[in-house]
Structures are given as structure tokens and as C-alpha cells.
A = this chain, B = another copy of it.
Amino acid sequence: VRLLLINPNTTTMVTDRVVRAAQERARPQTQVTGATGRFGARYITTRASAAVAGHAALDAYAEYGAKADVVGLACFGDPGLLALREVAHQPVVGMAEASCLLACTLGRRFAIVTGGERWGPMLEEFVAGLGLADRLAGVVTVRPTGGDIARDPDAAVAPLAAGCLSAVSERGADVVILGGAGLVGLAGRLADRVPVPVIDCVAALITACEAIGALGVKTPTVGTFAPPPAIESVGLSPSLSARLGA
């Protein structure tokens, strides 16, 4: 299985870290590559940067997506997910989507703990868009952003642990998702401090991608994710223009 992980922000260090974590987890026969957004925010922390990232994810897919068997969208919040699913000729899985769906088998109500307070309402809307609002215990944000946490993970352990405990005791979460590519690897450090399962969103993405790769499902030829009609465009990268115009 050839797995392409698209990181729609523009920080290669995050992509590298996610790919490395994926390679450590993946089965031997899984081949993991990464792609980084070519434009947009260094770290996605707002609605505007997420909107740009939807475009950047499509652009990166157009450039690198041809040979993958499965595509993982490696930004928690999944900017551009449904558009990618429409355009891609292989299955596409989002990092937040995979985490939320996994959480549903581990508890009745899940919480998301993540960095950067602007993500709170954005993730509530995302979960509602999945149709899972009734299973969301809440989104708990800590002050340091995903970018801050990626730069100094050690400093984030304490506030994230406090966020997880608050999610359990105040919001009644049965399971907690640690959300954000920049938080990769921290779930393991928190597991002993939190009395419910803690999900590492990168691990959730990888296992979901491998599971779908193993199932060998095809993509639809009718409906909203069927191959779309060709579109005439201007001002896009040659690869994206070609992909949309095909």
C-alpha cells in the first residue's frame, strides 16, 4: 500500500515528523510519503488559514497524488477533505475524521483536546458536519497553539494533561482525542495520567488509511464523490489546473 500524507500547512518539519511517526507505525509493506502545502500559513490556527489550506491540499494532491493507493490528510481539522475526496481517484481519509470515528468505538462521548483557542468553534463545526455532534463531549483548547507545541512538546505536556482531565471530569468524556499534527507522540506520554483512552491522531490516521488500503474499496462512479466534470480555470498551478481540467 502506497500512502500519501498531505500536510496542508507549509512547515516541512511537521510533515517530516508525521511521516516518520507513520513509518514507525505502518506495516512493513506500507510505503509512506509526505507532501507539504506550497502556500499558506506556517501553522493553521484560524478560519482564514484553514480556508487557504483547503486549496493548498488540492494543489499538493494534484502534484503528488497520482501514484498513491490511499491519501491521508494530515492536518487536524481536515481542510479540503470533501473536495479532495471528490477529486481523488483513490480513497481519502482525514486526520480529525479518522480520530473521531475511532473514538466512537472506544466510548460513548469523546472530547478533543488541542492547541490554540481559535480551533474550538471550528472543530465543533467540523464534528457537526460529520454528523457526530451528539457524541462530542466537547473541545478543550489549551493556550499554546499547535505550532508552539510542535516547537516545544515538553512544555505542553502539563497543560494538555490538565485539558484531558477536565474533558473527563467536567464534560464526561469517555475517550479523548489529542488533536493536531504537531502533537504527534504526546498521547503516549499522557496515557498514564488520564483515566480514559487517549487517541493519537496520527496513529488514528495511519491505521485508518492502512485499513482502507487493505479493504481494497473502489471509489464511486456516481454521486457527490464521483469524478467531477472538467473545469476551466485560471491562475492555478499547472498541476492543479490540469487535474481540474481533466
A positions within 8 Å CB-CB of B: 10, 25, 27, 38-43, 45-52, 54-55, 58, 80, 82-87, 91, 93-94, 97-98, 101-102, 104-108, 118, 120-122, 125, 128-135, 168, 172-175, 191, 195-200, 203-204, 207-208, 210-212, 214-215, 217-226, 228-229, 231-236, 240, 244
Q: Give the interface centre of A91, A134, A174, A215 by most chain B CB atoms within 10 Å.
A: A215
| Contact across chains for A215 and B224 when beta carbons are under 8 A apart | no
Min distance, Cβ A14 to any Cβ of chain B, angstroms: 14
| Contact across chains for A45 and B105 when beta carbons are under 8 A apart | no
Distance of A47 Cα from B140 Cα, bound (Å): 29
Q: A48-B83, A107-B220, A197-B217 are in contact. List 18 more A-B contacts (CB 8 A).
A: A27-B27, A39-B233, A40-B235, A45-B228, A46-B228, A47-B82, A47-B224, A48-B244, A91-B105, A97-B104, A102-B215, A106-B217, A118-B224, A175-B220, A195-B223, A196-B222, A199-B215, A204-B215
Distance of A15 Cα from B200 Cα, bound (Å): 33
| Contact across chains for A174 and B101 when beta carbons are under 8 A apart | no
* Contact pick for A225, options B174, B204, B212, B233, CB 8 Å: B174
Copies of this protein in the complex = 6
Distance of A210 Cα from B196 Cα, bound (Å): 20
Residues on B with beta carbons closer than 8 Å to the beta carbon of A55: 51-52, 54-55
* Contact pick for A104, options B83, B130, B203, CB 8 Å: B130
Min distance, Cβ A198 to any Cβ of chain B, angstroms: 8
Residues on B with beta carbons closer than 8 Å to the beta carbon of A10: 233-235
Distance of A90 Cα from B177 Cα, bound (Å): 19
> Which residue from chain B places its CB closest to the CB of A116 in the assembled complex?
B229
Distance of A168 Cα from B55 Cα, bound (Å): 30
Residues on B with beta carbons closer than 8 Å to the beta carbon of A212: 102, 105-106, 207
| Contact across chains for B129 and A129 when beta carbons are under 8 A apart | yes
* Contact pick for A228, options B102, B118, B244, CB 8 Å: B118
Min distance, Cβ A88 to any Cβ of chain B, angstroms: 10
Residues on B with beta carbons closer than 8 Å to the beta carbon of A46: 83, 86, 228-229, 231, 244
Residues on B with beta carbons closer than 8 Å to the beta carbon of A131: 104, 131-135
Distance of A39 Cα from B50 Cα, bound (Å): 18
Min distance, Cβ A209 to any Cβ of chain B, angstroms: 10
Distance of A105 Cα from B210 Cα, bound (Å): 13
25 contacts between A and B (CB under 8 A): A10-B235, A39-B234, A39-B236, A40-B233, A40-B235, A42-B232, A42-B233, A43-B232, A47-B82, A47-B87, A48-B87, A48-B244, A51-B58, A94-B105, A98-B105, A102-B211, A107-B220, A107-B225, A108-B224, A108-B225, A125-B129, A195-B226, A197-B217, A197-B220, A207-B211
